[in-house]
């Protein structure tokens, strides 16, 4: 199969699946590294936030197959999930935003179809950990909202981004300046909706140290800052305040798929922070089936705050 045919087939597969994506020249990897380093050097990123995501910011494109010549980026539409907990004999439904569940399964799916496409011609792929949002905007796959979340035509912010390194040769350059959606220029709905003041009115870069999502992705041994009001919590993990009011999400905001329901006994076990291995078989199956295991250490902290508020 010729290289041009491979590219054509890649985009055709994405179209059939309802996905979007980009093939990107590896020559732009240094530009991505420099941009992130500049943000840090100029103190535009909160030190705690930078440290938390350091492995993504200070990425090195090292692979088992050798020289990286291209990147394959894939954007998949993703819904919100509703998970129901039983507490004090009442059902407490909580939403998980689109970017949290089934990550491992989606990466596996993406790598499988890329391998099927590239391996027969002698090319390889490996999953890449790097600043996905910045890369997606730089290559024109996405645009930034004022809230620094990426938006994709037809998907809004309800999508997952995955990138893979490859030794597939690709020279075409589609690099562009970072840009905010035109829609944002006359809109401040997200600014008004954010309870923590994380979204500035007069500059483009999010105040990550004020973002509720950043603070509720930590495990139970990290206390919430005193300035966070318990009433601000609105999801099991992450936050949807700014996305719910964004006009760009008008067509997807009600896309909610059912997740698992947990009994009161199961809810108490999750509040104790038990590992997946120590959960009863039925509960363990629910957690694993819906991809809840990755943030299991976070739930006692966030869930506890929300359930205490419900008492």
pTM of the model: 0.90
Question: How high is the pLDDT of residue 78?
Answer: 96
Give the residues of the chain that fall short of pLDDT 70. Answer: 37-57, 310-311
Question: How high is the pLDDT of residue 42?
Answer: 46
The total of structural domains in the chain comes to: 1
Identify the domain containing residue 69 by its residue range: 3-310
Question: How high is the pLDDT of residue 46?
Answer: 58
Show the DSSP H helices in 209-291 as ranges.
Answer: 212-215, 241-244, 264-271, 281-289
Question: How high is the pLDDT of residue 192?
Answer: 94
How many C-beta neighbours within 10 Å does residue 39 have?
16
- Six-digit token pair at 109? 């799916």
pLDDT digits (tens, 9 = 90+) for 134-153: 999 999 999 999 999 999 99
Question: How high is the pLDDT of residue 59?
Answer: 79
Helix orientation angle between 264-271 and 299-310, rounded to the nearest 10 degrees: 130
pLDDT digits (tens, 9 = 90+) for 21-40: 999 999 999 988 887 766 55
Nearest to 142 by CA among 133, 152, 155, 132: 152
DSSP E strands in the chain: the ranges are 20-25, 70-77, 80-87, 90-96, 125-128, 143-144, 150-151, 159-166, 256-262
């Amino acid at each position: 199969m010729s290289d041009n045919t491979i590219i054509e087939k890649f985009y055709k597969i994405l179209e059939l699946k309802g996905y979007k994506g980009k093939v990107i020249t590896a020559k732009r990897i240094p530009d991505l590294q420099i941009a992130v380093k500049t943000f840090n050097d100029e103190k535009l990123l909160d030190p705690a936030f930078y440290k938390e995501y350091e492995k993504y910011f200070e990425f090195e494109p090292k692979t088992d197959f050798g020289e990286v010549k291209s990147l394959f980026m894939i954007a998949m539409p993703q819904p919100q999930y509703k998970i129901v907990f039983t507490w004090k004999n009442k059902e407490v439904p909580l939403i998980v935003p689109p970017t949290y569940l089934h990550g491992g399964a989606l990466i596996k799916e993406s790598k499988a179809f890329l391998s099927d496409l590239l391996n027969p011609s002698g090319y390889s792929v490996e999953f890449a950990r790097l600043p996905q949002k910045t890369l997606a905007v730089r290559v024109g796959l996405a645009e930034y909202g004022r809230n620094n979340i990426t938006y994709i035509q037809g998907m809004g912010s309800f999508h997952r981004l995955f990138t893979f390194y490859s030794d597939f040769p690709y020279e075409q350059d589609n690099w562009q300046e970072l840009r905010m959606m035109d829609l944002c220029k006359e809109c401040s709905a997200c600014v008004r909706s954010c309870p923590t003041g994380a979204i500035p009115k007069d500059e483009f870069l999010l105040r990550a140290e004020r973002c509720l999502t950043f603070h509720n992705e930590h495990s139970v041994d990290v206390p919430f800052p005193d300035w966070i009001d318990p009433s601000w919590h609105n999801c099991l993990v992450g936050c949807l305040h700014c996305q719910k009011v964004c006009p760009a999400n008008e067509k997807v905001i009600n896309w909610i798929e059912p997740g698992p329901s947990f009994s009161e006994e199961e809810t108490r076990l999750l509040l104790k922070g038990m590992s997946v291995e120590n959960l009863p078989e039925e509960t363990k199956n629910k957690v694993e089936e819906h991809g809840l295991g990755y943030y299991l250490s976070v739930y006692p902290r966030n869930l506890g705050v929300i359930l205490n508020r419900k008492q």
